[in-house]
Amino acid sequence: MSEDLSGRRIAHYRIDGVLGRGGMSVTYKATDVRLGRKVALKVIGEHLAPDAEFRERFVDEARNTSAIDHANIVPLYDFDEVDGLLYIAMRLVDGQDLSGHIKEGPLTPARTLTLLAQVAEALDMLHGKGLVHLDVKPANVLVTTKEGSREHVYVADFGLTRRGATGHRTRTGDFLGSPTYAAPEHLRGEPVDGRTDQYALACMLFACLSGRPPFQGGVQEVIQGHLGQTVPALSQLVALPPAIDDVIRKGTSKDPSQRYANCAELVNAARVALAGVAQGSAPAQLGTPSGSIPVQSPMSGPMAAQQAPYQGGYQQQPLSDPVRLRPPNQVGVSAFTSSKKERPAWFAPVIAAAAAIVVIIIVVLILTPRDEPARQPKTNSSPTLNLEDGSASKKPLPTSVPVRTSR
């Protein structure tokens, strides 16, 4: 969506300015006029709103995220649809996302482990609930220092799905997420689970320590790298021990069963591998290895998170189209609209009234008393006397006695 909604109102939110843009959404800084608080308002692109598959996933994301209470997961306040616009309102985090920090160069091992340990804790909690994030990347990790003396991390912009689902695609085959950090099974549309997020976390570990993602170039080059190439050896890019290569290689195994048991185990293995390294200084870069692809951010179709500081220094990213990989699986019923044929508004009241009438008739029939046996009609004939002797003659009894009057 290219239109800037700054200055407008969506429901009870006044839009104050743009925070970030992506191929799927625009995130605004907004004010909740009812409560008087600042929020980050993510508005979904109008071109995706009619897609039943996307709308269903949007509602799942909002409902699942709102039910999660964790110190490292950005709180979600509200979601709805107004005038064809889908939006999510979440906490406005005063800080910068991890991608902004990585652009400045490799992070120190100590800082990398501190930040990613918080991400791992949040992800493992989700996986324990049977959920998979499916869009783990530096742009969705918000870093703030206002939570205390150390940097605090919020994981945001969930593409939440149930474990065993088959990844993120719309009706038209659009891949909802960034292929830069996507696991092979996710790209192929195969069943996903917590190990899918772990793959992305291992790629983030590579990016934090090297200043670049594992695979670079165009969209198809990045995808082919994840599907069939081994992640480059980190120790050949920066001055780090080869033990870290083994950690990243296991975390990014093409076979999910060969990865670590959980995300925390991945971070702990990295901590052991980096134990002998000077933790307070960034690893020195060793130059670009021969045959490597020059640094270039691949196009992607991520749902934008809050990207960059809110006080200056933010460069908006141009909108890009979502990545189209392959036809999706069968689309289910939308959470907003039903795939069944819509019935007219009067249909339900008429059916209810008819049912009520039938019930009343049944009750009346049950409560109505049964009819008494019909009585014999009265006749003017005189009663007869039955004689016990069996006489065939039956004389009528006298009904009156004549009275003579004397003169």
State the binding site for ATP.
42
CA-nearest of 328, 7, 281, 302 to 137 is: 302
Work out whether the CA dihedral 296, 299, 301, 303 comes out positive or negative: positive
Task: Quote the CA–CA distance of 70 and 155 in Å, as a whole number.
Answer: 10
Q: Do 249 and 328 meet the contact criterion of CB atoms below 8 Å apart?
A: no
Active-site residue flag, 157 = no
CA-nearest of 23, 18, 22 to 40 is: 18
Task: Quote the CA–CA distance of 209 and 207 in Å, as a whole number.
Answer: 6
Structure tokens at 29: 């800084």
Structure tokens at 308: 């960059």
Per annotation, catalytic residue among 51, 124, 135, 174: 135
Furthest-apart CA atoms within the chain: distance in Å: 163
Taking 3-state DSSP, the helix, strand and coil percentages for the chain, each rounded to the nearest 5, stand at: 30, 15, 55
**Residues forming the annotated binding site?**
42
The DSSP line for 196-215 is: HHHHHHHHHHHHHHHSS-SS
Catalytic positions are: 135
